[in-house]
Amino acid sequence: MKKLCFSAIFAVLTVSCGIDEPLPNDYEPFICTEYPEERVYYPEETIVFKFNMVVNPNSIKGFSVSSENAGELDSVEVSGKSVKILPPLPAEDNLFVTLTSALKSIDNKPLMTGEQFSENKEVKEFVYETGIKLPEVAEIIPDDSKSAAVAVKFDSSVEIKIKDVEPKPEDMMKLDEWYVFIFDKPLDSLKILKARSLSRDYELNNIEVKLPSDAPEESDVTFESKATDTTFTLSVKGNTVIALAIESSYFICRKGCTAVIDGLEPEKTYEVKAEIYTKTGKVNRTFGVKTDEASPHIMISEIMHTPSLEPQKSWEFVELYNYSAMDFDLSGCFIDDKNDGKGVDPLSAKNEGDDLILRSGEVAVITGNEAAFADILPQNALWLIVDDTTIADAGLTGSESVQILCDIDGARTVAAEADPGGFKTDKGFSFTADTSGRNCQSDVENGTPGVYAECR
């Protein structure tokens, strides 16, 4: 009875005094209030997640980031009510972001990852695509002194105009990702005021290029030249050599380089002009060239070293292409896949009665002696085999060069050579070379044996 009276008295007092009844204590959950938009992020950008409370930095294990190519990333920073994925982001990749309830507010409230709290401990997962990085200077030649010729390599293609270089060069040359700037005297720095990224259509500004301030040594350039029936080869050597220009083609030298001019006609005389750019200035030379009599030429145009078909060794092949106007006799020729003189295999015709003459403009394919290429090769392709089931030293690999050796006039001579080691191909796609000196991987899986293909 006393209890009832007390309750009634409290109710009367609260009403008469204007005091509100206490409300239940509302719980404010810790939540992510703003997620990054779904788009391509570039490597120089920051990806930001925003929350309604200050984030406890000691709970960052509840926020994980991994890259498809680079694995787990540790470039995560807690900043007040934000968690940031800091640059540089891995380029041309996918980032996988996971948020769990292990991420907590500064007062240790767990992150609510679902519509409400549950025992299932839901996680939030996001995928963000990253794009191409901006170009950066990857290499500078020389790196030991001042220079009147400065070669700058970018890690992706850029466009630079000569008016946007300070001091203004006397001349400028471009070769792939390289630019060579020519000055009237050695200098130790230059500035590229503007450079446009061709992959991002983005303008880079005020790129500083610095060289050591040591004076360069005097130029000491040596030359070696030789001619065949269709080519002229010039080798330039010297500690001060930076670049070579010959017949409108440019070469980066790094103290020496070799340039080849092809497409010449047999038994003709040519005058070839070369400009050699050194640390101290330009050296001009003119060479009188007399080409040899016409002779046949072959090249290795395709190497299938890692086929996707099984058994793998039975689907390896090496393709030869006769790019000259004369037939090439492959009698007395061999294949070597390490250039070490061991495991050299003689070549013979797969089909009985076929000769070993590779006609002008035609293709030969070399396989193991049990390979089943009969239904694959074009009718005009010459099918050659080695004396066992694998080519040369237990088969081909992507890290070994391949040579065709022929006994000519009593001497074993290299007739053709190719090295796929510096060019990565996907499994099942062949290393391909063309007459323009370009390398590429085949357009189709398991290559195009018996069909010469140009790289595009």
The span from the CA of 94 to the CA of 73, in Å, is 12
Average pLDDT over residues 109-115: 89
Q: Can you give the C-alpha Rg of the chain in angstroms?
A: 35
Average pLDDT of the chain? 90
The span from the CA of 335 to the CA of 346, in Å, is 7
Helix (H) or strand (E) run with residue 237 in it: strand 232-237
φ/ψ of 104, rounded to 5, equals -130, 160
Report DSSP state, residue 218.
P
pLDDT band of residue 4 (cuts 50, 70, 90) is very low
Buried b / exposed e along 302-312 (16+ C-beta atoms within 10 A): bbbbbbeeeeb
Report pLDDT digits (tens) over 177-191: 899 999 999 999 999
User: Is pLDDT of 408 > 90?
Assistant: no
Report pLDDT digits (tens) over 22-35: 555 678 999 999 99
| Per-residue pLDDT, 35 | 96
Return the minimum-mean-pLDDT range out of 132-136, 318-322, 387-391. 387-391
Q: Which structure tokens are listed for 330?
A: 């492959």
| Per-residue pLDDT, 24 | 55
450-455's contacts with Cβ under 8 Å and 24+ in sequence apart are 450/319, 450/363, 450/365, 450/376, 450/377, 450/378, 450/381, 451/363, 451/378, 451/381, 452/301, 452/319, 452/321, 452/363, 453/301, 453/302
| Per-residue pLDDT, 10 | 42
User: Is pLDDT of 79 > 90?
Assistant: yes
Q: Max CA-CA distance within the chain? A: 130
User: Is pLDDT of 341 > 60?
Assistant: no
Q: Are the C-beta atoms of 87 and 131 separated by less than 8 Å?
A: no
φ/ψ of 60, rounded to 5, equals -65, -15
Which residue's structure tokens are 């498809």?
Answer: 68
User: Is pLDDT of 171 > 80?
Assistant: yes
Most confidently modeled range among 195-204, 207-216, 416-425: 207-216
Helix (H) or strand (E) run with residue 16 in it: helix 2-17
Give one DSSP letter per residue of 241-295, joined into a string. EEEEEETTEEEE-TTEEEEEE--PPTT-EEEEEEEEEESS-EEEEEEEEE-----
**Residue 26: Cβ-neighbour burial (10 angstroms; 0-12, 13-18, 19+):** exposed
State how far the alpha carbon of 104 is from the alpha carbons of 26, 46, 213, 417, in Å. Answer: 19, 22, 54, 63
The span from the CA of 266 to the CA of 229, in Å, is 5
User: Is pLDDT of 2 > 80?
Assistant: no
Report pLDDT digits (tens) over 43-73: 999 999 999 999 999 999 999 999 999 899 9
| Per-residue pLDDT, 191 | 98
User: Is pLDDT of 107 > 80?
Assistant: yes
User: Is pLDDT of 343 > 50?
Assistant: yes
| Per-residue pLDDT, 1 | 40
CA end-to-end distance (rounded Å), the chain: 100
What share of the chain in percent tops pLDDT 90?
A: 74
